[in-house]
Amino acid sequence: MKETEVKKHRYGMVIDLDKCTGCGTCMVACASENNVTVRADESDKQRSIAWIQLYKINNGEKFPKTQTCFFPRPCMHCEEDGNGGHHPPCVSVCPATATTLDENTGIVSQIYTRCIGCRYCQAACPYHARYFNWWDGYSYFKPFPDGMERSLSPDVSPRMRGVVEKCTFCHHRLMRAKEIAHAQGRTEIEEGEYIPACAEACPAQAITFGDLNNPKHKVSELIKSPNAFRLLERLNTKPKVYYLSSKEWVRRLADNYLPGEPVRGIND
Amino acid sequence: MENQDHFPDKFTEKSASVKHFFYMLISYLRNLISNPMRSGLAYFVVGLIAALLVGWVLFPMALYSRNHQPVDFSHAIHTDPDIIDGIEGDTEAERCSYCHTFRDDGSFTGIPNLSKCMECHDDPESPLGETAEERDFLEEYVANLKEVPWYRYYEQPDCVYFSHIPHVKNGEIDCSACHGGHGSTDSLPVYEKNRISGYSINIWGKNISGRKTNTWDRMKMDDCAGCHTINSHEENNGCFVCHK
Amino acid sequence: MDSKDNKIAERMGINRRNFIKLVVGGAIGTTLSPLPWKITDDIAIFTQNLPWVPVPPAGEYSYAGSLCTLCPGGCGIKVRKVDERAVKIEGRTDYPVNPGGICPLGMGGLQLLYNENARFTGPMKRTGERGAGSFQSISWDEAMNILADRISGLKAGELAAIDGNLKGSTMSVVIERFLNSLGSSDYIKMQSSQETMDIAANLLTGTRGSVGYDLENSDYILSLGSGLLEGWGSPARVINAWSIWRSDELKGRVKVVQIEPRASNTASRADKWLPAVPGTETALVLGMAHVIIKEGLYNRDFIDNFSFGFYDFETAYGSYRRGFKTLVLEDYSPERVADITGLEENEIESTARDFASASAPVAVCGRGKGALYGSLYESMAVLALNALVGGINRAGGIFINDPLPLADLPDLPTNTSTGSDLKNGRIDMAGSRSYPFSQSLFNNLADSILEGNESPIDMLLVFSANPAFTAPNCGKLRKALEKIPFIVSFSPLRDETSMMADLILPDHIYLEKTDDMICPSGLQYPLYGLSRPVVKPLYNTRNSGDVMIDLAGKIGGTAGDAFPWKNFEDVVKHRVKGLYDAGDGLTDFDGVTPPWGTAGSIASPGYSSFDEMWEKLVKNGLWYRHLDRGRNIETIFNTKSGKFEFFSSIIESALKDIDVKILGKNASNDDICMPHFEDISPEGNDSFPLMMYPCELINLASGWIPNPPYLNKTLFDDQLKKDNSFVDINPDTAAEYALKQGDSIIIESPAGRVQALVNLFEGAMPGIVFMPLGFGHSAYDDFLRGKGANPNEIIYGKIDPLSGQNIWWKTPVRVTKL
C-alpha cells in the first residue's frame, strides 16, 4: 500500500453580478446534474428544492429608475475561523454528524443516509441554502413525471424523504476529475479540471470557480476587487462564495446595514 | 446527629440481610440444578437454547436469500495464462484487469459485459462449448446477444462513492485485499442477499456475529474507514471521500 | 400421594412461573445471539436505502454532440450519456454560436425527452369529443392509410399546413413541397420577428437572405424592445456577447440601450433604459435619425455612395419625390418624438449622438424573444438607422447575408393532376394585393376559416407548432380549428393543438431525430446546423420527414413523383451537396477562432470529398463561413438602384397593385416607400382604459415547446403562485384601481378575459398591464396544466401596415378586482 500526501484545497466561487443576466440556467443545470426533485407545484418555495437559488432584488426606485438585479445563491460553504472556534453554522448544530467541513477541499458535505431530518441545520443556515425533502423524490408517490427517472445521473445519490440536502459544489465532479487524473497517473487535478455544473453552464460566464488557496488562480485575483463582497459578512461565517458588483445598492443589500452606514468591502 | 448514631446498627442489619440473601440464592440454585424438571430450570434452558438456535442458526438462514448465478464461471481457468491466451502480467491486478478493465476515464467496468466474453466466446458453434455450463451460456446468451443478469457480490449501496483506480493503481492494493480468493475459485459461490437491507453478504459480512478475520470478510463503512484513518490521517476520512 | 404427585406435576408442567422461565431463557438466548443486533443494523440500513428510491444504474460515460433545435437559436449541445441513457445536456465549447453556454430551456431538454406523461408514445386517433383528449392507439400502417385515403379524396385547395419548423430547414421545405405537389399553396409558417425583418431587408436591399447582428463586435447596442436577455435570437449567444461587453477588457466601453416599457432583465442590466410607449419605437428611431442627420453625424461615405432615396429626387417621369432626409427632418423633430414616445427630448438627442459617435453601433429589433411578428416599418426604420451610420455589413453592425448555397430540390413535376390552386390565392392572403410582401400570414388563418359557413379547407396538418396556445387571440384560432373537419398533428407532445386533432402521428423529440437549421436567428455569419439523434427513439414515433416521404409514395401521382428520395436524411444530403459544391465552408470549430473574430477566414475547408464533408458535418453538426467583412458593399444590394434604398423602389413599383386602404391612413405615397411612423392605436375606448403588453421571460418557454418542469423552479414567487400567474402593474396605476399586491383580478379585452394576480412593480410603465407569455396551458401534464393565464387569450389588436402581420403588443384592457 502506498501513501500519498494530500494537498489541501479551499474551493470557492466568485459570481460576477454585473455579468449575471438572471436567466436561471445555473438552477436548471444544477437540478439536472444533481438529480434534484421537482414537483408539480414549484411555486411553493418553502417546499421546493433548489441547491442554487436565483434571487431577484431591486433598487426600490420609482419608474423609470427601477433596476432589478439577480444573484444566484449556492451553498456558501462557510469556513471555520482557524482558531478552532467557528464552524459553519450548520455543521456545529448537526446532532448526527451528517454534515461536515471537509478538511481537504473546504466543501461542506451532506450525507443523506446519515441525516436524521431534524432540520436544525436548516434553521441554523443564515443563507437558506438547505432544503428538506418533504416527499420522496421519485416513483413511490409519483411526484416526478413517469419515465423521468431515466435521466437520473448515477453520480449523485437520489434522496429519500425526510432528509436535508444542499449544494455540494458538485463534489462528484471533483471525484470524477480525480479519477481521470488517476487514470493518467496523477494524484492531483489541474485547476480547471473541476468546476461545478452551474459555473460550466452559465452562458454569461458570470461564475468563476477555483482553489482560493492557489494565489495564481483567477478566483484569488477576483476577490481582491473593491467590488467583491460576501453575504452577511459580519456573521463571520466566512463564506467561500464571493460576489462582485459595481453597484453600491446591490452591495448594500448583502448585509444588514444601518441607514447611512457605509458599505464595506471584504478587504475593508 | 441522631441519625449518625444509628448508622452503624443499620449497617450491620444490612450486611446480615445480604448474607441471608446469598444463602437463600445458593440453596435455591442447588435445588434448581438437582431437580431441573421440578424446579423449572429445564424451561429456562430450553428457552435459552431455542433462542440461541434461532439466533445463530435459523436467523442467518432466513436472513439471506440464496441464489445461484445464471451461469457458472471459473475464475481459476480464466486467470490461468497457460489456458487463456490473452492473460498476461505478473501481478494479480494485471491478470484481473484483463476482463475487469479500467476505462480511459479511470472508471471501472466491474463485471464485464457480454461483448467482453464474446471476444473469445464469439461463436455459438465454438469449440469452447465443452461443458454443459458453457453450452448453456453460448446458447442462451451469446446466440441471443443477451447480457447475463449476474448477481453482483460486491455492489455497494447507492450512497457510497468508490473508485477502484486510486486504490488499485495508485494505492497498489491487491485485488485480494478486498475480494479475497475470489479470483482463484473454480465456480461461483451462491449469491446471498440480505432480505432486509437488500445487500450482498460479501459486503455486509460473512460472519453473522460480525467477527472479521480476513480483510476481505466485510466491506462496511468501518472497514473502509479503518484504512482511511491509518497513521491518524483523520482528514482522509472526510464524509465526502466515500459518500455521494 | 395423588395430591403430592399432582403438585409435583403442576410444578413441572407449564405454569406461570415456568412460562416466565422459558421466556426469560429465550430472552437471554436471543440477546446472546446476533439476531436483535443484526436486525437493528439491517433495518437501519433499510431505512437509509429505501427500496423505492431509485438507484440510477452506472455505466460507461459518453458524450453525444448535437444541435439544440428547441428554438431558432441553434446552439451546440453535448449530451452526457451513461450507457444508453441521456443524463445531462451541456453546451458545446466547440460550437461557434454558444461557446460553452446554453439557455435554461435547452438545459432542461431531457425532461421533454423522458416525460412520458407529456409525450405521445405512438400514433393515435381521436375517439371522444374534439378537445376532450381521448385517443386510441393505432398502428403506423393504419394511421398512414387513414391519412393517405383522406388526402387522396381531397379537392384542390382543401389541404393546408401550419409549420413551426425553422425557416428554410429541410423539414419545412419537405412540407411545403408535399403541399405544392398536391396543388395546395396553403403552407402557413408560424410567426417570427425575423420574418418581418427579412421582408424589410428585402424591401430596402433587395436581398432575400437573413439579417444578422454583429453583437460581439459592437460597442453601442440600441435594442428596440428586443429581449436580449429574455431569449432573443440565440439566447446563449446573446448572453455570451453580453458577457463580452461586460468583460474586464471592455467594461464601460460598450453601451447597451434598451427601449422597452418594463424594467425587464435586459432593461435593468442595460446602461440606459428608455421606456418609450409601446408601439412608438419607430418614431423614436426616426427621431434619432433626425438628430443624426441634422447634426451631420451620419456616415457620408455610405450615404453618398451606397444609398438611394436619402435625398429628394426626381423620377424618370419628372415627378418630384421626397427623400428620407426630408421626411425625417420635417416630421420627426425630437420635440414631436418626445411627445409621441413619452421620453425626454434631451434623452432622445443624447442617445442619437452617442449612437452616431460610437465606433460600431448597431440597432436591433424584434420584441421579446422575437417569436412573434415584428413591425415592418419599424424593422425598416432600424435598417435605415443602421445604414445612416454606415453599419451595413461592417464589423459591429448589421449583416445581410445571401441565402445559404444549399442545393435546390428538383422542380416539381409540372402536370399536377390535382388542380391549379397554386395559382389561386392563399387562404391567409399572403402575397395578395393587400399584403404583397408577406409570404405567410399566420394571423389571417382564423378569420379566413371563420368567414363562411363551411371551412374552406378540409384538412390541416400541424407540424412543430401549437397554434391553439401560441397564436395571439388563440381563442379565435381554436374556434377556427374546431371548424376544420380533419386535423392531423405531428407533434411529439400532448399540446393543446394535438388535443383538438383527429389523428396524431407523433414525431420524434428533438434529441431522437435528424434535423437541420438554416442561419440561427440573428446570427451575423452564415451557418448551417445539423442535429443528429443522440438517443435511440424511446417510443413508437417516427421522424415526420420520413412520414411525409412515405405518405407521398402512398398517395402516388404527383406527390409520389415529387419525392424520389428513400428517406428524410437523403433529402438533407441532397441539399447539403450544395454546400459542398460552394467549396468554401468550414465544418469544424476549434473553440478559439470565432467566425466573428478578427482572425479572418481559415482558407482550407478541411475536406476533399462530399462523403468526407458529410462525415464531418454529422460529427460536428455545423457548416459555416467566417464573417465576410471583405465583402464589397457595392455588390450586396440587389435593388433597382443597386444601392441601399431608403426609398424602396420595390414598394414603389408594387404600389399600383397594392390595395392602398390597408396602408396607414396618414401615409402619403412617398412615405409608404420609406420607414415612417404610423400611430396604430388599438380600438380602445373608455371601457378599456388600460393596455396589456405581453412580456417574455427567459425562464418561461412561450412557444411550441412548453416549460420543462425544472424551469418551473426558476420562476420567482412574484411570477407564479400555485395555479395563478402574476401581472406586473405599476403601484400608481394599481392605486387608481385600489389594487394591492397579490390581489386577484380579471383582465378583460374585446377578445376575452383571464384571471391573474397583481404584482406591484415599480419597473412597470404606468397604465400598462404586463402579462408573461407561456403560462396558462390546458394540456400536457400536471407540471404545466392549469398554471397561470395565457395573454394570447386576450390579445386584440390591429394589423401592421404593409406586412399584414398582427400587432400583439397593444391590447386595450380593463381590470376588475375579484
Q: Which among A6, A158, A179 has the least Cβ separation from residue B163?
A: A179
Closest-CA distance of chain B to residue A116, Å = 15
Q: How many CB atoms lie within 10 A of CB C742?
A: 13
Domain ranges of chain B: 2-65, 75-111+150-242
Contact C45 B105 (CB under 8 A): no
Greater pLDDT, A74 or B205: A74
Closest-CA distance of chain C to residue B37, Å = 6
**pLDDT digit string, tens, across residues C335-361:** 999 999 999 999 999 999 999 999 999
Residue of B224, B240, B242, B243 best to disrupt the A interface, most CBs of A under 10 A: B240
| 8 A C-beta contact, residue C265 and residue A22 | yes
**Arithmetic mean of pLDDT over chain A:** 90
C307-310 long-range Cβ contacts below 8 angstroms, 24+ apart: C307/C387, C307/C643, C307/C644, C307/C645, C307/C646, C308/C639, C308/C641, C308/C643, C308/C644, C308/C645, C308/C646, C308/C647, C308/C649, C309/C641, C309/C645, C309/C646, C309/C647, C309/C648, C309/C673, C309/C674, C310/C646
Contact C29 B38 (CB under 8 A): no
pLDDT band for C226, please (50, 70, 90 cuts): very high
| One domain, residues C507 and C545 | yes
Using the predicted structure, report yes or no on whether residue B8 has a pLDDT greater than 60: no
Task: Look up residue C188 and give its amino acid.
Answer: I
Joined together, the cell numbers standing for residue C216 give: 460581439
**Rounded to the nearest 5°, which phi and psi values hold at B231?**
60, 30
Contacts of C529 (CB under 8 A, 6+ apart): C67, C69, C74, C76, C97, C516, C517, C520, C621, C622
**Closest CA relative to residue C495, chosen from C470, C531, C525:** C470
Query: In percent, how much of chain A has pLDDT > 70?
Result: 92
Contacts of C425 (CB under 8 A, 6+ apart): C431, C432
| Residue numbers in B near A97 (CB within 8 A) | 239
Contact C49 B159 (CB under 8 A): yes
| One domain, residues C501 and C437 | yes
Distances (CA, A) of C718 to C629, C710, C739, C770: 46, 18, 15, 12
Q: How far is CA C705 from the centre of its chain?
A: 9
Contact B170 A2 (CB under 8 A): yes
Distances (CA, A) of C410 to C169, C187, C404, C483, C581: 16, 19, 17, 36, 16
| Residue numbers in B near C32 (CB within 8 A) | 51-52, 55
Contact B236 A104 (CB under 8 A): yes
Using the predicted structure, report yes or no on whether residue A141 has a pLDDT greater than 60: no
Contact B166 A168 (CB under 8 A): no
**Arithmetic mean of pLDDT over chain C:** 90
**pLDDT digit string, tens, across residues C537-572:** 999 999 999 999 999 999 988 899 999 999 999 999
Tell me the three-class secondary structure of B80-97, residue by residue: CCCCCCCCCCCCHHHHHC
Average pLDDT over residues C603-611: 83
| Residue numbers in C near B105 (CB within 8 A) | 61
Residue that the C-alpha cell 436619402 belongs to:
C310
Distances (CA, A) of A96 to A93, A113, A119, C178, C710: 9, 10, 11, 67, 31
Q: What is the pLDDT of residue C193?
A: 92
**Rounded to the nearest 5°, which phi and psi values hold at C124?**
-145, 155
Q: Does C492 touch chain A (CB under 8 A)?
A: no
Q: What is the pLDDT of residue C418?
A: 45
Is 0.85 exceeded by the ipTM? yes
Per DSSP, C46 falls in state H
- Which range of residues forms the domain containing residue C269? 210-401
Using the predicted structure, report yes or no on whether residue A225 has a pLDDT greater than 50: yes
Q: What is the pLDDT of residue C629?
A: 61
- The CATH number of residue C338's host domain is 3.40.228.10
The residues pairing with C183 across neighbouring beta strands, listed in sequence order, are none
| DSSP codes, C269-297 | HSSEEE-PPTT-HHHHHHHHHHHHHHTT-
Using the predicted structure, report yes or no on whether residue C455 has a pLDDT greater than 60: yes
**Arithmetic mean of pLDDT over chain B:** 84
Q: Which among A168, A171, A182 has the least Cβ separation from residue B170?
A: A182
| One domain, residues C417 and C505 | yes
pLDDT band for C75, please (50, 70, 90 cuts): very high
**Rounded to the nearest 5°, which phi and psi values hold at A86?**
-70, 135
Q: What is the pLDDT of residue C120?
A: 95
Q: What's the domain count of chain C?
A: 5
Using the predicted structure, report yes or no on whether residue C417 has a pLDDT greater than 60: no
pLDDT band for C419, please (50, 70, 90 cuts): very low
- The CATH number of residue C717's host domain is 2.40.40.20
Q: Does C11 touch chain B (CB under 8 A)?
A: yes
Q: How far is CA A128 from the centre of its chain?
A: 11
Task: Look up residue A47 and give its amino acid.
Answer: R
Q: Which among C240, C268, C732 has the least Cβ separation from residue A203?
A: C240
Query: In percent, how much of chain C has pLDDT > 90?
Result: 72
Average pLDDT over residues B199-210: 85
* Longest Cα–Cα distance in chain B: 105
User: What gap in Å lies between CA C263 and CA C762, rounded to an integer?
Assistant: 8
User: What gap in Å lies between CA C438 and CA C740, rounded to an integer?
Assistant: 44
Residue that the C-alpha cell 409525450 belongs to:
C119
Joined together, the cell numbers standing for residue C107 give: 438545459
A250-255 long-range Cβ contacts below 8 angstroms, 24+ apart: A250/A17, A250/A57, A250/A69, A250/A71, A251/A227, A253/A57, A254/A229, A254/A230, A255/A229, A255/A231
Q: What angle do helix axes C281-294 and C376-388 make, rounded to 10 degrees? A: 20
The residues pairing with C223 across neighbouring beta strands, listed in sequence order, are C258, C364
User: What gap in Å lies between CA A96 and CA A100, rounded to an integer?
Assistant: 10
**pLDDT digit string, tens, across residues C741-756:** 999 999 999 999 999 9
Residue that the C-alpha cell 403560462 belongs to:
C775
| One domain, residues C28 and C127 | no
Report the DSSP pairing between strands A53-58 and C61-67.
Answer: unpaired
Q: How many CB atoms lie within 10 A of CB C575?
A: 22
Greater pLDDT, C657 or C219: C219
Fold annotation for A11-252: Alpha-Beta Plaits (3.30.70)
Contact A103 B107 (CB under 8 A): no
Using the predicted structure, report yes or no on whether residue C54 has a pLDDT greater than 70: yes
| 8 A C-beta contact, residue C508 and residue C542 | yes
User: What gap in Å lies between CA A90 and CA A124, rounded to an integer?
Assistant: 6
Q: What angle do CA A23, A26, A30 make, to 5 degrees?
A: 145
Residue of B239, B241, B242 best to disrupt the A interface, most CBs of A under 10 A: B239
Q: Does C268 touch chain A (CB under 8 A)?
A: yes
Residue of A148, A157, A198, A245 best to disrupt the C interface, most CBs of C under 10 A: A148
Considering the domain boundaries, does residue C9 fall inside one?
Answer: yes
Contact C45 B45 (CB under 8 A): no
Q: How many CA atoms lie within 13 A of B154 on its CB side?
A: 16
**Closest CA relative to residue C175, chosen from C426, C557, C420, C464:** C464
Contact A66 C761 (CB under 8 A): yes
Q: How far is CA C478 from the centre of its chain?
A: 20
Q: What is the pLDDT of residue B40?
A: 76
Joined together, the cell numbers standing for residue C308 give: 438611394
Report the DSSP pairing between strands B191-194 and B64-67.
Answer: antiparallel
Using the predicted structure, report yes or no on whether residue C20 has a pLDDT greater than 80: yes
Q: Does C318 touch chain B (CB under 8 A)?
A: no
Q: What is the pLDDT of residue B2?
A: 45
Q: Does A107 touch chain C (CB under 8 A)?
A: no
Query: In percent, how much of chain C has pLDDT > 70?
Result: 94
Q: What is the CA radius of gyration of chain C?
A: 31
Q: Which of residues 113-172 of B touch C (CB under 8 A)?
A: 157-159
Report the DSSP pairing between strands C503-504 and C486-489.
Answer: parallel
Q: Which among C107, C718, C766 has the least Cβ separation from residue A29?
A: C107
| One domain, residues C364 and C225 | yes
Contacts of C615 (CB under 8 A, 6+ apart): none
Q: How many CB atoms lie within 10 A of CB C454?
A: 10
Q: What is the pLDDT of residue B129?
A: 67
**pLDDT digit string, tens, across residues A17-61:** 999 999 999 999 999 999 999 888 899 988 899 999 999 999 989
Q: Which among B59, B105, B157 has the least Cβ separation from residue C35?
A: B59
Average pLDDT over residues C759-766: 95
| One domain, residues C239 and C317 | yes
Least confident of B21-25, B205-209, C809-813: B205-209
The residues pairing with C408 across neighbouring beta strands, listed in sequence order, are none
Average pLDDT over residues A193-216: 95
Contact B43 C18 (CB under 8 A): yes
**Rounded to the nearest 5°, which phi and psi values hold at C370?**
80, 15
Query: What is residue C361's three-state secondary structure?
Result: strand
Q: What is the pLDDT of residue B123?
A: 67
Query: In percent, how much of chain B has pLDDT > 90?
Result: 24
| 8 A C-beta contact, residue C71 and residue C102 | no
**Rounded to the nearest 5°, which phi and psi values hold at B177?**
-60, -35
Q: Does C272 touch chain A (CB under 8 A)?
A: no
**pLDDT digit string, tens, across residues B70-94:** 999 989 888 888 777 767 777 777 8
Contacts of C427 (CB under 8 A, 6+ apart): C157, C160, C186, C188, C444, C445, C448, C449, C456, C457
Contacts of A78 (CB under 8 A, 6+ apart): A87, A88, A89, A90, A101, A108, A237, A238, A239, A240
The residues pairing with C89 across neighbouring beta strands, listed in sequence order, are C79
pLDDT band for A244, please (50, 70, 90 cuts): very high
User: What gap in Å lies between CA C321 and CA C308, rounded to an integer?
Assistant: 12
Q: Which among C103, C713, C717 has the least Cβ separation from residue A38?
A: C713
Greater pLDDT, C661 or C215: C215
| Residue numbers in C near B198 (CB within 8 A) | 46, 49, 51
pLDDT band for C477, please (50, 70, 90 cuts): very high
Q: Which of residues 208-267 of A touch C (CB under 8 A)?
A: none
